Amino acid sequence: MLRPAHAAAVLVAGVAFLTVRSGAAPVRPAEKMRGVCWEGAGPIDAAQLAPLEDLGVEWISQTPFGWVRSMDSPEIRFGGSRVLWGESDEGLARTAGWARERGIKTLLKPHLWVHRAGWPGDIAMRTEEDWALWFAAYERFILRYARFAEEHGLEALAVGTELGGTTGREREWRRIVARVREVYRGRLTYCANWNEEPERIAFWDALDFIGIQAYYPLAAGPSPSREELREVWAPVVASLEGLARRTRKPIVFTEVGYRSQDGALERPWEWGVDGPVNHDLQRAAFAAMFDAFWDRPWFGGTFVWKWHPAPAPAPSARRERDFTPQGKPALDAIRAVYRRDRRPQISAGQDTSGH
């Protein structure tokens, strides 16, 4: 969840949002996706998913990785044994199986990791030959996980995540989506970065819903009020409603989260920075986001970044300030929305694959 350094200069009030007005009503999603981004860690057991039931969670996302050496390298490495258990085939499958026993579905969300912590949104090839090699490599990578998702009955799959330097190549991405549909029968999305990428993508019609990594900059001050945050969201709501109307696709925040510390809303994509703990700011940020979006008919839900499989073994200053709402007041704001108008859970043994 790394973001480009230059994004700090983009304030919500100054973004040139492209709102396409249309008489067509946006498509209402069949369900709101009440999700969390599950952290792939070491070996776990089924009991570690139990807290999600109390929260009202009905979806988790899981993220396996591919690795690239540099922004302009056409090679993608993936698979192998040198991964965390929760990102391995075994860990992904067992976690999804335990989730399904609790009536919780899985969005498989493969991601590219750039050497030395580069942001995948800056990946771009230098020559047409390298572009051809990159898309061939990416097709192998995503088809591998599409087959995995089909084999294990995972309910949704992201064909890509934050690859804004590549998504302007519409023809190649349409081929990727078509190839994935040949081997996978579940729901498909692409997870676009929050800035200008969602409006630039021309292949939303080939997917089932629009995914957005929703780290919009909201406020520069240490403690903006819930009402101030609601006002800042207004132009974003207008822009995304225009996108939903134009594409006739529901919009899901495939990642949304806030650090629990002063100043966290100025550059919400950043992590590993210091600042005074501010649990109230995190709670207010979630409450304002839900106020702005949850009841919109075109809005398809949220995946909260992020959920650790186990609580911290000891009090940790880093955990107190990081993105997780676990053990913090923000959890109440999430629970209030996720449990409202919640559909009855499907008992273990019933088919939840949607296949």
What is the rounded average pLDDT of the residues 323-330? 95
Write out the residue range of the structural domain in which residue 165 sits.
32-338
pLDDT score, position 292 = 96
Q: What is the mean pLDDT of the chain?
A: 88
pLDDT score, position 312 = 65
What is the rounded average pLDDT of the residues 81-102? 95
Taking only the tens place, the pLDDT of each residue in 17-26 is 333 334 466 6
Q: What are phi and psi of 277, to 5 degrees?
A: -60, 135
Query: Is residue 349 domain-resident?
Result: no
Taking only the tens place, the pLDDT of each residue in 236-265 is 999 999 999 999 999 999 999 999 999 899
pLDDT score, position 8 = 35
The whole-angstrom separation of Cα 53 and Cα 102 is 7
Taking only the tens place, the pLDDT of each residue in 114-166 is 987 689 999 999 999 999 999 999 999 999 999 999 999 999 999 999 999 99
Please say if the pLDDT value at position 188 is more than 80: yes
Query: Is residue 150 domain-resident?
Result: yes
Which of 4-13, 173-182, 282-291, 303-312 is the least confident region? 4-13
The whole-angstrom separation of Cα 167 and Cα 170 is 6
pLDDT higher at 80 or 130: 130
* CATH code assigned at 75: 3.20.20.80
Taking only the tens place, the pLDDT of each residue in 331-349 is 999 999 999 987 665 444 4
What is the rounded average pLDDT of the residues 195-202? 96
Query: Is residue 327 domain-resident?
Result: yes
The whole-angstrom separation of Cα 61 and Cα 20 is 30
pLDDT score, position 202 = 98
With 0.85 as the threshold, say if the pTM is over it.
Answer: yes
What distance separates the 2 farthest-apart alpha carbons in the chain?
A: 55
User: Do 162 and 114 meet the contact criterion of CB atoms below 8 Å apart?
Assistant: no
Query: Is residue 352 domain-resident?
Result: no
Query: Is residue 19 domain-resident?
Result: no
Please say if the pLDDT value at position 206 is more than 70: yes
Q: Which of 112-126, 166-180, 266-280 has the highest mean pLDDT?
A: 166-180
pLDDT score, position 230 = 84
Taking only the tens place, the pLDDT of each residue in 260-271 is 999 899 999 987
pLDDT higher at 311 or 70: 70
Query: Is residue 343 domain-resident?
Result: no
Confidence of residue 7 (pLDDT cuts 50, 70, 90): very low
Please say if the pLDDT value at position 351 is more than 60: no
Query: Is residue 350 domain-resident?
Result: no
Query: Is residue 221 domain-resident?
Result: yes
The whole-angstrom separation of Cα 235 and Cα 178 is 34
Please say if the pLDDT value at position 16 is more than 50: no
Question: Domains in the chain: how many in total?
Answer: 1
Please say if the pLDDT value at position 6 is more than 50: no
Q: What are phi and psi of 354, to 5 degrees?
A: 75, 5
Q: Which of 13-17, 92-96, 272-276 has the highest mean pLDDT?
A: 92-96
Strands (E), the chain: 33-38, 59-62, 65-68, 77-78, 105-108, 111-114, 156-161, 187-193, 209-213, 251-256, 299-307
Please say if the pLDDT value at position 311 is more than 60: yes
